[in-house]
């Protein structure tokens, strides 16, 4: 039996998928009274061992981040191949994509979610760590992202 819960209840990030990140970051900066953030382009999926629905994906995304105290807001514009970002944008348009939490034990947290009917949908390496999205839309109305600073093993 895995640990109880995700292992962390502190929300670290809320992310929104957008069609045009340049326009979205300008709109959000104006509303938040913040500087317009830079755009970061992720590495191609094949360089970070990305999988989407169990299959390798070479998708990328353009990202922009607003640091809002405890919570970071992330804007995501999907680029190229299949991904949970593109799927969400195609299905619901611009909308909240995920709520993120850090975990010290990705495997235990992933097992806990799986036991609750929340499957892994996409994962990738992130420097020494990894990120993973879990499809909790049926149960919670949004995906859950887990972030691990030091990757012990790639979650599957």
**What are the chain's domains?**
13-148 (3.10.180.10)
Question: What pLDDT was estimated at residue 2?
Answer: 41
pLDDT of residue 132: 97
Separation CA 92–CA 113 (nearest Å)? 23
| pLDDT the model gives residue 17 | 98
The pLDDT averaged over each successive group of 10 residues in the chain (156 residues) is 69 97 98 98 96 96 96 97 96 96 93 95 96 95 95 91
Residue 133: its H or E element: strand 129-134
20 conformational bin, left if phi > 0, alpha if psi -120 to 50, beta if neither = beta
| pTM for this entry | 0.93
- The pLDDT of residue 7 is 79
Q: What is the pLDDT of residue 156?
A: 87
- Helix ranges, the chain (H): 21-32, 84-92, 106-115, 137-140
pLDDT value for 1: 36
């Amino acid at each position: 039996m895995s640990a109880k819960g995700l292992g962390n209840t502190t929300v670290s990030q809320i992310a929104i998928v957008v069609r045009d990140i340049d326009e979205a970051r300008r709109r959000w900066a104006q509303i938040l009274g913040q500087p317009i953030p830079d755009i970061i382009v992720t590495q191609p999926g094949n360089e970070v061992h990305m999988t989407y629905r169990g299959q390798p994906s070479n998708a990328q995304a353009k990202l922009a981040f607003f640091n809002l105290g405890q919570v970071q807001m992330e804007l995501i514009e999907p680029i190229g191949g299949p991904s949970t970002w593109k799927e969400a944008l195609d299905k619901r348009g611009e909308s909240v994509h995920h709520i993120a939490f850090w975990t010290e034990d990705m495997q235990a947290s992933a097992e806990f979610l799986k036991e609750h009917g929340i499957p892994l949908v996409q994962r990738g390496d992130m420097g020494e760590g990894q990120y993973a999205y879990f499809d909790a839309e049926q149960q919670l109305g949004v995906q859950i992202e887990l972030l691990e600073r030091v990757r012990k093993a790639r979650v599957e």
